[in-house]
């Protein structure tokens, strides 16, 4: 690997305003800004803006010496030797300083208070690169000339490889790594970022997420934020995301919209998806019917464990949970239930009829959430089936849906931690 030799390190804010002299000693201007070519892990300075009303830049390779007191050029300055700002270059002051960025390491929004630059030489080639952004209070006080007041504070630097700017700098420049980096964040972290953003920033950020990322983040957000985002979104994109969401969550969102807006989005959805959501929207808020999801898996009683497992490989991605398997007859009456664990350890020659538990724990669609919570809590269940008066299964209510109602301020991550503990240590079958 090629080694860098560092010739100097600088804070960008303290370079601003530094006078520039050519070889003859003539003052040709000051550092007004620096243009950056954003390629590789560490963006490279390509030129210096030296007067206000022009985008003609002094090429960085003309710099012989740089300090906070002065910048000296290798030769006498000639305007014809300057270069024009390219479409793929950006100004540091305009597009980075004081901007909000995503700290991909800490999964949060931060503000760029200053930027560190390094003057390096590699294979006899000298260049200046951006190394890190200062996101701490010390960087802010440094720019105000008051750093002495906070010398006890540590500098808080974030390496350039861990940042994602929120703005698309111009129509030509897109960072190739952005989508990959964001895809590595947990959906809950993306949700937290979205909730911190203002309307304009949030809209642009969501546009750069694929549907899977956007749905994952939306399902981690509170209902008020979900509704706000869907209302602000393009109708076709909004309907696409609602199709991919669990039907119960999509129904919760649509109920909060105006009738006109709700119908518009439903009409854009696939017919089957829209029908599932419409059915859930008919139930009164707080009832098992309103809480349940229709994404569950059922099987016929005469199937063997091997046949069920083969079907599960195809059906599981569409289900809310596969920890419980529900057995039904031809009219969809609930006949029995068994756990995934019981299925896996069963003899391959038996049928579900021999394995299933027929003493059923169910709730009605009209039962309130307290009744649902009582059943889930008393019997240590991870999900409870919802049936009608005829015993036909309509959906299931999962434990996390109940916890979201009973403890609304509880984070989704906490809910899932509780869910995992219940899964392995609970009494449920």
What are the pLDDT digits (tens) for 325-340? 999 999 999 999 999 8
Of 154, 159, 162, 156, which Cα lies nearest the Cα of 108? Answer: 162
Asked whether the predicted pLDDT for residue 415 surpasses 50, the reply is no
Per the DSSP assignment, residues forming a β-bridge with 137 are none
Q: Cα separation of 65 and 404, whole Å?
A: 61
Residue 277 has pLDDT above 70, yes or no: yes
Asked if 85 contacts 66 with a C-beta cutoff of 8 angstroms, the reply is no
Q: Which tens digits make up the pLDDT trace of 36-76?
A: 887 766 788 999 999 877 778 999 989 999 999 999 999 99
Higher pLDDT, 427 or 189: 189
Q: Which residue, among 246, 255, 339, 332, has the nearest Cα to 293 in the 3D structure?
A: 246
182 is a domain residue:
yes
What is the residue-averaged pLDDT of the chain? 84
How far is it, in rounded angstroms, from Cα 311 to Cα 248?
A: 24
CB-neighbour burial class of residue 71 (10 A; exposed 0-12, middle 13-18, buried 19+): buried
Contact between residue 70 and residue 21 where contact means Cβ atoms under 8 Å apart: yes
What confidence category does residue 424 fall into, taking pLDDT thresholds of 50, 70 and 90? very low
Tell me the backbone φ, ψ of residue 53, rounded to 5 degrees: -95, 40
Q: Which of these, 176, 164, 169, 209, lies nearest to 191 by C-alpha position?
A: 209
Q: Which residue has the higher pLDDT, 84 or 407?
A: 84
Distance separating alpha carbons of residues 244 and 247, to the nearest angstrom: 8
Segment 148-192, tens digit of pLDDT: 888 888 888 888 777 766 555 443 333 334 555 666 678 888 887
Strands (E) in 311-382, as ranges, are: 324-328, 334-339, 363-364
Residues 352 and 245 in one domain: no
Across the range 366-373, mean pLDDT stands at 93
Based on the domain organization, do 413 and 343 belong to the same domain? yes
Q: Are residues 105 and 66 in the same domain?
A: yes
Assess whether 235 and 365 both reside in one domain: no
DSSP-assigned beta bridge partners for residue 115: 133
The answer to whether position 172 is within a domain reads: no
Note whether residue 290 is domain-resident. no
C-alpha dihedral, 215 to 216 to 217 to 223, nearest 10°: 70
DSSP helix/strand/coil, 352: helix
Q: How confident is the model at residue 425 (pLDDT cuts 50, 70, 90)?
A: very low
* Contact status, residue 299 vs residue 308, Cβ threshold 8 Å: yes
Strand duo 114-122 + 125-134: pairing? antiparallel
Is there a contact between 182 and 217 (Cβ–Cβ < 8 Å)?
no
Q: Are 399 and 421 in contact (CB under 8 A)?
A: no
pLDDT, average across residues 344-368? 93
Q: How many domains does the chain have?
A: 3
Q: Which of 109, 136, 165 is the last residue of a domain?
A: 165
User: For 147-279, where are the E strands, in sequence order?
Assistant: 157-159, 163-165
Report the DSSP beta bridge partners of residue 103: 108, 163
The domain in which residue 401 lies consists of 298-425
Q: Do 23 and 159 belong together in one domain?
A: yes
Q: Is residue 292 part of a domain?
A: no
Regarding whether 155 and 19 lie in a shared domain, the answer is yes
Instruction: Say yes or no: 254 and 308 in one domain.
Output: no
DSSP 148: G
By C-alpha distance, which of 56, 74, 57 is closest to 65?
A: 74
CATH code assigned at 214? 1.25.60.10
């Amino acid at each position: 690997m090629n080694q860098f030799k560092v010739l100097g390190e600088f804070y960008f804010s303290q370079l601003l305003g530094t006078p520039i002299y050519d070889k003859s000693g003539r003052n040709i201007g000051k550092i007004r800004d620096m243009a950056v070519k954003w390629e590789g892990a560490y963006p490279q300075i390509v030129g210096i803006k030296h007067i206000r009303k022009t985008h003609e830049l002094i090429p960085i390779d003309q710099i012989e010496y740089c300090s906070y007191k002065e910048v000296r050029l290798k030769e006498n300055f000639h305007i014809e030797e300057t270069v024009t700002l390219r479409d793929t270059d950006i100004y540091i002051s305009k597009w980075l300083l004081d901007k909000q960025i995503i700290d991909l390491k800490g999964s949060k929004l931060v503000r760029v208070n200053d930027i560190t630059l390094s003057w390096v030489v590699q294979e006899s080639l000298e260049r200046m690169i951006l190394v890190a952004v200062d996101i701490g209070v010390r960087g802010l006080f440094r720019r105000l000339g008051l750093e002495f007041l906070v010398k006890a504070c540590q500098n808080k630097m974030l390496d350039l490889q861990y940042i994602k700017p929120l703005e698309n700098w111009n129509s030509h420049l897109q960072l190739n790594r952005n989508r990959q980096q964001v895809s590595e964040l947990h959906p809950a972290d993306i949700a937290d970022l979205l909730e911190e953003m203002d309307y304009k920033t949030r809209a642009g950020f969501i546009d750069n997420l694929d549907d899977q990322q956007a749905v994952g983040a939306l399902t981690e957000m509170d209902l008020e934020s979900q509704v706000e985002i869907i209302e602000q979104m393009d109708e076709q994109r909004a309907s696409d995301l609602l199709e991919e969401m669990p039907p119960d969550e999509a129904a919760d969102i649509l109920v909060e919209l105006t009738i006109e807006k709700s119908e518009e989005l439903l009409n854009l959805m696939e017919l089957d998806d829209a029908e599932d959501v419409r059915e859930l929207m008919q139930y009164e808020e707080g009832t098992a019917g309103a809480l349940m999801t229709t994404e569950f898996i059922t099987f016929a009683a005469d199937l063997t464990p091997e046949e069920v497992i083969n079907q599960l490989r195809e059906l599981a991605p569409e289900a809310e949970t596969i920890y419980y398997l529900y057995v039904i007859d031809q009219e969809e009456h609930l006949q029995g239930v068994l756990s995934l664990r019981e299925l896996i350890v069963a003899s391959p020659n038996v049928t579900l009829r021999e394995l299933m538990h027929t003493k059923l724990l169910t709730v009605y669609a009209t039962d309130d959430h307290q009744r649902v919570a009582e059943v889930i809590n008393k019997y240590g269940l991870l999900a409870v089936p919802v049936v009608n008066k005829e015993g036909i299964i309509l959906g299931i209510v999962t434990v996390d849906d109940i916890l979201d109602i009973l403890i609304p301020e509880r984070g989704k991550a906490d809910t899932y931690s509780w869910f995992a503990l219940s899964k392995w240590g609970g009494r449920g079958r």
